A and B are shown apart, each in its own frame.
Chain A
Amino acid sequence: AQSVSQHNHHVILSEAASLELGCNYSYGGTVNLFWYVQYPGQHLQLLLKYFSGDPLVKGIKGFEAEFIKSKFSFNLRKPSVQWSDTAEYFCAVKGADSWGKLQFGAGTQVVVTP
């Protein structure tokens, strides 16, 4: 069965600090990987996605994620966060060979203090 684990439920950091959010998945096959973000009062938005090729993918707003197949990981990073990055971040996985459901992690609430 698919599963996604996000290591931190809550992260608090100051502006300009670096951010790294962990995501590990369990899936018996080739996967597509996603990070979604939910800003306060807004709907889920796609931050970035990995389908194939270069394991380092860049998304919107200066975010990037690295797919490490041997570790079943897809960690999200941003070198210098801003107050506007305060949001909840969700990692999700889907089998690459099928249409259908995304399996989400429980999410990480990130609070950036001025």
Chain B
Amino acid sequence: GQNIDQPTEMTATEGAIVQINCTYQTSGFNGLFWYQQHAGEAPTFLSYNVLDGLEEKGRFSSFLSRSKGYSYLLLKELQMKDSASYLCAVSDSNYQLIWGAGTKLIIKP
């Protein structure tokens, strides 16, 4: 079967760094997406990885290891507005997205 695993909830302090992990087992792989979802709102696209390595976008970076079926989202210089759920999704062999349940990130002052 297809499976995406992420921690249910994480807590971090404002100004700190947090890493959200995602492991996957899917039928085929055509890229991995990270989305941010604030409470009561729709998900918004953060990053896309299809090759191994690190992609950096400002305070956010995303890493992929295809051989390990593993990705992480790294958030630096945390701000209160980063409190949200972070969704990991993998594009499978049919280019359909398989979604993780999301990681709720709580930022404390």
A and B bind: no
Give me the interface of A with B, judged by CB distance under 8 Å: none
